[in-house]
Chain A
Amino acid sequence: MNKKTIVIDILRYRPEMDEKPFTQSFEVPYIEDTSILEALQYIKDHLDSTISFRWSCRMAICGSCGLMIDNIPKLGCKAFLRDYYPNKISLEPLANFPIERDLVVVMDDFMQKLESVKPYLIPGDNACMSSGEYQQTPLQMEKYKQFSMCINCGLCYAACPQYGLDNNFIGPAALALLARYDRDSRDAGSAQRMKILNQEEGVWGCTFVGYCSTVCPKKVDPAAAIQLLKVESSKDYLIGLFKPD
């Protein structure tokens, strides 16, 4: 019996021996419900054990297995061979990030940017422990919930040409995270975060390409978060003209 197969091209890079990345082809059995991540695991188990890629949960929760599939940033666990069969599939590490090895990228800059937006509740001056826990209505939660669903997979950075051109730009996920805390009724840190988003590298580095929201596997819509922050930044500028601090 002839078993169906599918060819997967993988951009490989082994820092200890390669000057630059090269493409290697693998032929894997085609099964309709095989995900790209499972195909990679098949390659590692049966064809070439030296291949490196990140993964953990296999169900679009951990955000580890992001990669470029036919030049589009996707989670390996959320894309399937059937979406491409019988065509060849090309796999590359996430664009706009330095390649550490094979499909593994260096995410240090991304992590620093997430930290830089003060992603925690900042209490107001009058907050005190004796007043008890924070209360929040479902409506108040609804205003930021969407932006809190980010799994830090980095697909939006791979989709953002502005980040690709100049990685000083804080970028989609970090700005969505900033919006998530800014819009939280329990938070009083908007003024501190305003300094971050007012910069050229803040919201104004975004030219509203919008691809970040298209590729987001959790429908966080970072482009919307950034445009809403631009409105806030503009309001802050106008108010500052008449009422300087």
Chain B
Amino acid sequence: MSKRKPYIRKLETNWWLKTGFYTRYMLREGSCIFITLYSLILTWGIFNLSQGESSFNMWLDTLQNPFFIILHLIVLIFALYHSITWFALAPKAIALWVKGTRIEDSVIIATHYAAFAIVTVLCLLIITL
């Protein structure tokens, strides 16, 4: 008779706290919660815009509240963290070959940052002009 009795270990619910790598991954994925919050605030603003000038100004005033300023700072930190970690991973999903050699990871990452900078400047121009 076989004495085999494989022991199965369950993945504990706090698995993502056991290694820094997993924790950083969960922070990257968890950043979506804060980015969703931010998009809801923006949607709320667009709704107020449709209700007229006074309504929109009231929304702007509400955002001056320290709670919203702190929330925006947290969202900004998470959005930057997500972008930086995502850009760092980008070369894994892109295999570009030019004249027999694969484009270096650093070039792909730099291109992402360049695109990020250009889009940021364009957005700033649209908002300020």
A interface with B by C-beta (< 8 Å): 13, 15-16, 20-21, 71-72, 95-96, 98-100, 106, 139, 142-143, 161, 164-165, 207-211, 213-214, 221, 223-224, 227-228, 230-231
Complex Cα–Cα for A20 and B9 (A): 10
In the complex, chain B residues 6-65 whose Cβ is within 8 Å of any chain A Cβ: 6-9, 11, 15-16, 18-19, 21-22, 25, 29
- Known: A13-B7, A139-B100, A211-B22. Is A231-B93 also a contact (CB below 8 A)? yes
Q: Which of B16, B93, B97 has the most CB atoms of chain A within a 10 A radius of its CB?
A: B93
Q: Which of B16, B19, B29 has the most CB atoms of chain A within a 10 A radius of its CB?
A: B19
Whether A230 and B89, one on each chain, are in contact in the complex, defined by CB atoms closer than 8 angstroms, is no
Name the distance in Å between A108's Cβ and chain B's nearest Cβ: 9
Whether A161 and B92, one on each chain, are in contact in the complex, defined by CB atoms closer than 8 angstroms, is no
Cβ contacts under 8 Å, A224 to chain B: 91-93, 95
Whether B22 and A71, one on each chain, are in contact in the complex, defined by CB atoms closer than 8 angstroms, is no
Whether A15 and B7, one on each chain, are in contact in the complex, defined by CB atoms closer than 8 angstroms, is yes
Name the distance in Å between B102's Cβ and chain A's nearest Cβ: 8
Q: List 25 A-B contacts (CB under 8 A).
A: A15-B7, A16-B3, A95-B9, A98-B6, A98-B8, A98-B9, A99-B7, A99-B9, A100-B4, A100-B6, A139-B97, A142-B102, A143-B95, A161-B16, A161-B22, A207-B29, A208-B89, A209-B25, A210-B89, A210-B92, A221-B92, A223-B89, A224-B93, A227-B92, A228-B95
Whether B4 and A161, one on each chain, are in contact in the complex, defined by CB atoms closer than 8 angstroms, is no
Cβ contacts under 8 Å, A211 to chain B: 19, 21-22, 25
Complex Cα–Cα for A96 and B93 (A): 26
Closest to B21 in A: A211
B interface with A by C-beta (< 8 Å): 3-9, 11, 15-16, 18-19, 21-22, 25, 29, 89, 91-93, 95, 97, 100, 102
Closest to A214 in B: B21
Name the distance in Å between A223's Cβ and chain B's nearest Cβ: 6
- Known: A98-B7, A207-B29, A211-B22. Is A230-B93 also a contact (CB below 8 A)? yes
Cβ contacts under 8 Å, B91 to chain A: 224
Whether B19 and A143, one on each chain, are in contact in the complex, defined by CB atoms closer than 8 angstroms, is no
Whether B4 and A15, one on each chain, are in contact in the complex, defined by CB atoms closer than 8 angstroms, is yes
Name the distance in Å between A37's Cβ and chain B's nearest Cβ: 23
Cβ contacts under 8 Å, A98 to chain B: 6-9
- Known: A227-B93, A228-B95. Is A161-B6 also a contact (CB below 8 A)? no
